[in-house]
Chain A
């Protein structure tokens, strides 16, 4: 493998490498090099692919552009600078793009000034910089074609479009550098996967191999990200140098809790104390950034803080993705000016836009991943030598343990592993269409280009052929075969190309990987407009459901097209389950660490280590305040005592998976798996076990899944032996069980719709018309049914892959099952009890996440029939009771 560690460069070496005016400008402005600059400049200067990992504000962007600007100036002086694009900078954020443009222009001005002072400004070439995104007006684009920027700033989507722009793409043949910013964010999403294919297509266009430069925040393992950046050439990984300066900024983390006991304290009291703690923190600091995990959480925190009069109203604001771009921009600007005291945000301020000086980051609830936590905390202590200070405030018991273990892992420099999606076929479909627009391809030649991307290294020729068959309309029967194909595909000759003049427009207006979620308008039955709901929410409503909209109660009646009709009501309790949330899943690696911590704690309790000693250990190693340490001990001790009374001697840990057999007060059997694998793994495991139960008991199984375990609830009157159950799922049958168990779920239908849109099967925009999501949705439900019956249909294959691999983590679940088979992990099965252990209380309160229905449609109908009859009976009983 050709991934190597960067070598440092000295300041004098840098000064020698740079053109005099560049060197003069740099050293008078900055004085010295920052760590990412020390480690990255040499390889970039040598045109070697380079991945730079460093905290925000550490000068890594400049490390890149210093060499590039220097070389462009030098070329210009030698008369080699043409009207062509030499460097492309890609970032996922438009706001970041605008920042970069501003910074580059001021850098260029600075160099010009330095040249003038030195009398070197005569004949100094002009370097042009321009941003090109979906917002760029066509007049600007025309200008760019006449005088192309030397440095082009763009987004992944716009890059893919430019690749098909007949004239402008010619200006890209000269590209020497491509910079991918926020690569840690991109590499774990389909958006990033999409970009890797654009890069390979760009490489195909360019006359020489361009240098790839990736900019990343704290992430692990860097080798994986490097591979994502560089890809393959002739079957071998391209070379890459890694400049790892992730831990140059000192970080101070504290886990604080306003109470010393979370088992016996009421939630209301904990909440009110929590806001007081935050209030004090905000008042003691100049600017505090507060992270919550959800948008609704953000709104709630702002509401409570403003009620407490923590700071002046205009010094406190929310910043999240549902707010308009203008509002977000205003908050960002005020942060930069240093006039904000507190900003509450969900994920939108995680990324690298410059937000000025922040002296404290508060995280409410568990951030669920070590990397994410460090990224968030890293927003404080803006200068490199300043300490990033973060306070973690948990909301419930499992949060508390998560935060403590996270702080301990972070302090040891351990990070959770990044997940890179593998060969999504919907993204590939877009690029195949794009390539067909360019020219006629031979399938082998195209396959070679596409599999150079790290994400598509395992793409099979068969998958590619099925995609071509789909895109050419080949799944239709012979009569209308090929009439509706987007491309033509000659199977015998192995060639494909564009069909119809409309294709270019379809490509340009439908490209991208982020699914639309459009609002459904809500009216009263009399026709008065009352607001909007998300279509995913409408998916859950049936007649009689009660929900809140804009602070008012409504009863849902019916929907027609993209409109929902409701009746306002005075009182009632919302009936739609709230589990459907935007919660982030716990990373598997952090979950494992929590399992290890549990094991260690129980060992100490078993050995009767003194209470004070344990509290000191937690405070020291786990960065907890006294309150937090006490609460952790109390929680762990409660579990320990409970299990001891049940006669259990082997306590739960990452290796010992405790399975509880709990009979609830309705007489139902609940099988609870204590497994801190995180929701992605638990989701997969739980559905497989539930499917086994559904098959064997011929009944629907209710499912509850959290980051630290899952629960299977059997219908009344059905019983099963947990010893038997745990042996039924293994590495070999997990995938097939999962596919059968998700076939009738809302999850697969929704994901299929997204995949159908990304695969250009359902267009968002066609012949200048926006196609509403409601329309896409209605059709997609029927479409899924039809497509699911087709043999090897790639869009369906991708929907299942996305659910199994991206939403869930089937691969790690398989590994876990393999380890159980080998005896490296074991199930500890507790005796049947009518009390669940304290570790499971939060899980039980969560409410059902899903139901695993029997597989085929006939059984589904029977199941629905039974549940309708049951509900009718319950209603009648209720009616009688009322009388």
Chain B
């Protein structure tokens, strides 16, 4: 009798739980967000800003992706998507994916392994069709070729083992494109297999997506659509959110001071502050005087008071670290004790600057002979503001900085011509993985290694960590590399910023990724409790 009662209670509880579960995920509704700017195009593969990922990631699927409800992207949070499974060959030089069958593109054509091959052949620059721009070609430098085995199996054949390849494939930057649609069309009217279909993109006005009724993941997405209103003016956008015109802010776009305004005007709004894996750093022209002198470079690194930057710009809410995003949100950041052994990272700023002044005096500068330097940066607040603080801090070590603001149109060409002494720069990492960060920014042959820092010994270590399959061993190698890079003043990292995302309480299923702002916008699990 007692067991019957227990069974009854269990059944009732199960019914309540399941009905609550049903009620928990309501279908329908349009998610209204504002967008911070008008993206150049709708083609994720051709752009290098998350202004494109945020609205258009929901149009596509990847082979694999970072689990969308896990905040920290890691190799453990990668789940199959268009792939049903993946496997490495014994020599770790072949990565094979089995693919879902019955998946259709938004135009009704079937998805096959040929589409995967097409996509990555195009990314690697090996196909007849070319992207207008191809910013992540270097990600796949270690891929020899891609082969298919029937319609539902595809293999990436590597030149050498690269365990981190899977982390790159899981990024929001790695969607699968259809073979039968041209790159030009993908820029204006993208076709994907994802939870939402593209409806329209009116430049400077709006982006609209609608539910894909034939989505291959049954029961998803929950929303009927997503609409982005493009509002470049932050004040107007935030007022729009607090007045209820929008259900959610543009992800990771609410600055810390603005966050206070939002909470004051709309106390019920849910706001999450998280690192976005964007570092603010100094690019140093080490090829010409005065920064060809290692003492002056070291003095500059010693002059940095990182806490002051963070206190002024982020009200204390940002992180100090090396190239890799600091732990616990980042996976590869150096431990604090190790970080503080690097010149300029020690807590005693006065002592650091005293040492810096001695180095400057050794180089021939002093209280009566200051070093005039132009500090170049983009004419955008997130660049300009820290540049001004940097100039102020450099005064303490006899360096008279002059702000040189450069329009975006001229920034890259100026840097490429080496027409700068010091530059204040922002570097975003799409995935929290050393392969991306090290090769892209510090490798001797990388186009994005603006300072042309080149250390063959470090280069060997890049490969060593890239080949390492043991996570803990790889971490230690990464820490050593990062420490060496910072000590070489290759591209001094000032801070890793944190920003906020807010949404109304009835928006459910949103997860803000804590170590990348490029990968969490599939939005198939998001729903509105209205």
Q: Do A and B bind?
A: no
